[in-house]
Structure 1
Amino acid sequence: MGLFGSRGRREGIPNDPALLAAAAENPGGSVAEIDPTYIDDPNGYVPPEAIRGAWLVDSSGKLTGEYQENPRHGVPQDDFGRLTDPDHWLGWLGDDPAGAVRKGIEESLRAQVADAVVEWVKILEAPRFLTGGRRHAEDQQVMLVTRAALAASFALSVRTARHGRSILLGVFSWVAVNLSSPEVRKDRHWFDLGAGLDWAGERLEERIYEIDGAEDNAER
């Protein structure tokens, strides 16, 4: 793993069997210290903020006693940078694309468990996008966008009264059609737990026509 922050020595080398075993498996590397306040399963997805720091490991797989702190350690935060970074038109999501996608994710979860509260969401990869349109009737040089879709892979933390906190991985997809006629616009969300982004990206075109049978040409 990559190391970060200031480096120093701690008093004594921990005698934790799990930590020593992890060090033995990572000679010349490091072993992260996970904050259980934010993560219940250190073997699952771990947000960067949940890492307190890392113990350095020598070439023989033993702890050196050196420890590097993580300056980002703290309450995990939303990260929609990969959604908004691509040079892709997101006007169909409104003035706050990240907020719209977060709301869609939370609504998808609350449709399954009414009291679900999303603690944080992180978009893990650049999303897959799909847009389609038609030529303007009076100006053939103008293309009217009539439909758009995205598939975004995520990791998130959600709390419910019954199940407590859960870390979920999957893909959130959003399709919107009739964009040139807001009064008849249709939107639909898909929340595919455990799905891969390639799989969800391949579903976009069929999903975009699933909610509207019009034969616009779709272009990636």
Structure 2
Amino acid sequence: MGDISAERRRILQSPPPELVAEATANPGGSVAAIDSDLIGDPNGYVPGETVQGFWRVGEDGKLTGEFVENPNYGPPKDNFSKLTDSEHWLDWLGDQPAVAVRDSIAQILDEQVPGAVLEWTKVLDAPRYLTAGRPQPDDESNVIVTRASIALSFALSVTSPGHKREILQGAFSWVAAGLDQPGNRKDRVWLDLRADLDWAETELRNRIYLVGQPPAPGITT
């Protein structure tokens, strides 16, 4: 990435117009320095790791010359903590829920654009869950889980042959049916770009019952 110190001196000697404008708009605050090589559109989602640091701004709206480095600066990494830190039952996703979700997203992207590579994924909010079941015949206080589902909001980076890196946001949903019938489990996933989590949760209430159901008469799938 070159001599960062020399680059900062150059910026201070001749601040780019956009930095000057940001400083003017944030008197007494700070302006983030973003490594554009690590992201696609800097006006979209910006992972914290891509921020090199912050320029301090004086009360007069001008750069003070002080630069505070970001200790976490570097290539963005996966962050599934909002999923894995949940106390919700996730056994239906296997021993490694984060790996299962990441692999599913990567597969969807590759199916849409062959050769697409998922660089990183971040779960942005606490996921939403829906679970269905039936009482055990001999103990109605216990429930046999028959269906499980999850919806989560994400930001991700993807590259593909002949295309620039893209930062995408949206909602990922996964429904599994037939959990009480070994060998007859059915799964389906959705990747809804630009969709928010509330919308995905509402859709999940319908989708959880779509999986594993026979098609309606006269409809082919």
Please report the TM-score for the alignment, with normalisation by the length of structure 2: 0.88
Distance (whole Å) between structure 2 residues aligned to residue 111 and residue 134 of structure 1: 36
- Quick check: which one's helix share is greater? 2
Distance (whole Å) between structure 2 residues aligned to residue 112 and residue 213 of structure 1: 26
Q: Which ranges of 4 or more aligned residues in structure 1 deviate by more than 3 Å?
A: 10-14
- Give the drift of 1:86: 2.1
Equivalent residue, structure 1, for 2:59: 59
1:67-146 residue pairs with structure 2 within 5 A?
A: 67-146=67-146
Equivalent residue, structure 2, for 1:212: 212
CA RMSD of aligned residues (A): 1.5
- Which amino acid is the alignment partner of residue 138 of structure 2? E
SS in 1 for 2:134: strand
Distance (whole Å) between structure 2 residues aligned to residue 118 and residue 53 of structure 1: 26
SS in 2 for 1:188: strand
SS in 1 for 2:141: coil
- Cα deviation digits, residues 1-47 of structure 1 (max 9, x gap): xxxxxxxxx65455211101011111221111111220132111111
* Alignment check: 8 A CA contact 1:13 1:65 kept: no
Distance (whole Å) between structure 2 residues aligned to residue 61 and residue 201 of structure 1: 43
Equivalent residue, structure 1, for 2:170: 170
Unmatched 5+ stretches in structure 2: 1-7, 215-221
- Which amino acid is the alignment partner of residue 166 of structure 2? S
Percent identity of equivalent pairs: 54
- Give the drift of 1:110: 1.2
- Give the drift of 1:157: 0.4
Distance (whole Å) between structure 2 residues aligned to residue 164 and residue 15 of structure 1: 27
- Which amino acid is the alignment partner of residue 26 of structure 1? N
SS in 2 for 1:135: strand
* Alignment check: 8 A CA contact 2:41 2:166 kept: no
- Give the drift of 1:165: 1.1
Distance (whole Å) between structure 1 residues aligned to residue 145 and residue 117 of structure 2: 34
* Alignment check: 8 A CA contact 2:157 2:166 kept: yes
Equivalent residue, structure 2, for 1:32: 32
Distance (whole Å) between structure 2 residues aligned to residue 182 and residue 82 of structure 1: 29
Unmatched 5+ stretches in structure 1: 1-9, 215-220
- Give the drift of 1:213: 4.2
- Which amino acid is the alignment partner of residue 83 of structure 1? L
Equivalent residue, structure 1, for 2:179: 179
* Alignment check: 8 A CA contact 1:13 1:63 kept: no
Please report the TM-score for the alignment, with normalisation by the length of structure 1: 0.89
- Cα deviation digits, residues 27-80 of structure 1 (max 9, x gap): 221111111220132111111111100101122221111110000001110000
- Give the drift of 1:163: 1.3
Change (3 A) 1:182 1:114: farther
Distance (whole Å) between structure 2 residues aligned to residue 137 and residue 111 of structure 1: 43
* Alignment check: 8 A CA contact 1:152 1:171 kept: yes
* Alignment check: 8 A CA contact 2:40 2:164 kept: no
More deviation in 125-134 or 57-66? 57-66
Change (3 A) 1:83 1:125: same
Aligned residue pairs total 205
